[in-house]
């Protein structure tokens, strides 16, 4: 299986690795800084550079049975099992994903309703909430409130709890339709500040809310009787 370096340090931009498999799903490495599509966050893009200088552009990253597959652009040079490569992220894109993902956590902490869906994009994202009509926030007021909270520059921390601890504390899970991965014995938790947010998440985030910058709530949409989609975008 691929060693997931991004789990402990989302700021790693590159790493040395060895190709362990090549197939239709992509190029699997023994270790990587590339985040695979999951939890609403897109897979990373970037490049793999072999020791002889041959470079392969990676357009997507996905979880596969034997690890993490780096999807090469069509017509890219072929790599072979055993090749040593330098895996390098498209860092600017990844960092925007990190800022948006953290901003969505902050927003989630301020909305009283279960999360029914979500998606992270390049500079924007959204969460869907199960909300009664009277609990739907006003767009401008929510924007102002979130920016004030973000500007405090709350630190973000990563910790782990056991599967049993999460099972005993079901309120830690905000998502109604998707449960955090369990079965490995422990679950990765994200904490923002002192009581801002604390919930399981496997994605990549910034180190503190100040790195998010200013955001705007661009649209609040009705997606059913009680389902409301709240769209967010980075402003700077």
* Cα–Cα dist 222/202, whole Å: 28
CB 168 within 8 A of CB 153: no
* Cα–Cα dist 146/168, whole Å: 30
Same fold, 3-89 and 94-234: no
Q: What is the pLDDT of residue 236?
A: 82
* Cα–Cα dist 205/95, whole Å: 8
**Domain extents in the chain:** 3-89, 94-234
Per CATH, is 94-234 categorized as 3.30.980.10?
yes
| R_g (Cα) of the chain, nearest Å | 19
* Cα–Cα dist 200/158, whole Å: 10
* Cα–Cα dist 229/110, whole Å: 14
Residue 111 predicted with pLDDT over 70? yes
- Please report, rounded to a whole number, the percentage of residues in the chain having pLDDT higher than 70: 97
Question: For residue range 169-197, what is the model confidence (pLDDT) as tens digits?
Answer: 888 887 756 666 666 788 889 999 999 99
What's the average model confidence in pLDDT over 214-226?
Answer: 92
3-state secondary structure of 21: strand
Q: What is the mean pLDDT of the chain?
A: 93
Q: Both tokens of residue 9?
A: 């340090």
* Cα–Cα dist 176/162, whole Å: 20
Which CATH code fits 3-89? 2.40.30.130
What's the average model confidence in pLDDT over 91-115?
Answer: 95
The residues near 47 (Cβ < 8 Å, ≥ 6 apart) are: 55, 56, 57, 58, 87, 88
Question: For residue range 16-71, what is the model confidence (pLDDT) as tens digits?
Answer: 999 999 999 999 999 999 999 998 999 999 999 999 999 999 999 999 999 999 99
Q: What is the pLDDT of residue 114?
A: 87
* Cα–Cα dist 22/38, whole Å: 21
Q: Name the band, by pLDDT with cuts 50, 70 and 90, for residue 76.
A: confident
Q: What is the pLDDT of residue 84?
A: 98
Cβ atoms within 10 Å, residue 102: 26
């Amino acid at each position: 299986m691929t060693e997931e370096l991004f789990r402990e340090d989302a700021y790693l931009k590159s790493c040395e690795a060895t190709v362990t498999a090549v197939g239709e799903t992509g190029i699997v490495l023994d270790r990587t800084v590339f985040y695979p599509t999951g939890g609403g966050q897109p897979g990373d893009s970037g490049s793999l550079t072999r020791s002889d200088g041959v470079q392969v552009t990676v357009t997507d990253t996905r979880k596969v049975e034997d690890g993490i597959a780096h999807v090469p652009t069509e017509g890219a040079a072929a790599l072979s099992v055993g090749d040593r490569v330098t895996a390098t992220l498209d860092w600017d894109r990844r960092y925007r994903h990190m800022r948006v993902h953290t901003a969505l956590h902050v927003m989630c902490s301020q909305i009283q309703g279960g999360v029914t869906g979500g998606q992270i994009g390049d500079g924007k994202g959204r969460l869907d909430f199960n909300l009664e009509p009277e609990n739907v926030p006003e767009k401008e007021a929510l924007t102002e409130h979130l920016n004030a909270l973000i500007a405090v520059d709350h630190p973000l921390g990563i910790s782990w709890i056991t599967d049993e601890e999460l099972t005993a504390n079901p309120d830690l899970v905000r998502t109604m339709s998707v449960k955090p991965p369990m079965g490995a014995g422990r679950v990765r938790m994200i904490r923002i500040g002192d009581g801002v947010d604390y919930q399981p998440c496997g994605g990549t985030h910034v180190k503190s809310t100040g790195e998010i910058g200013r955001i705007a709530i661009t649209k609040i949409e009705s997606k059913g009787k009680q389902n409301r989609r709240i769209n967010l975008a980075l402003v700077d």
